[in-house]
Amino acid sequence: MSSFVFILKEQVKNIYLIKRLANFEIRIANTNNYLGTAWELINPMIQIAIYWFIFGLGFRS
Write the pLDDT tens digit of every residue in 28-58.
888 888 888 888 899 999 999 999 998 888 7
pLDDT at 18: 96
- Rounded Cα–Cα distance for residues 57 and 9 (Å): 48
What's the rounded mean pLDDT across residues 17-34?
90
What's the gap between Cα 32 and its chain centre? 17
Report domain extents, the chain: 2-60
User: Environment class of residue 30 by beta-carbon count within 10 Å: exposed (0-12), middle (13-18) or buried (19+)?
Assistant: middle
- Rounded Cα–Cα distance for residues 24 and 11 (Å): 18
* Confidence check: pLDDT of 60 > 80: no
Q: Is 30 helix (H, G, I), strand (E, B) or coil?
A: coil
* Confidence check: pLDDT of 61 > 80: no
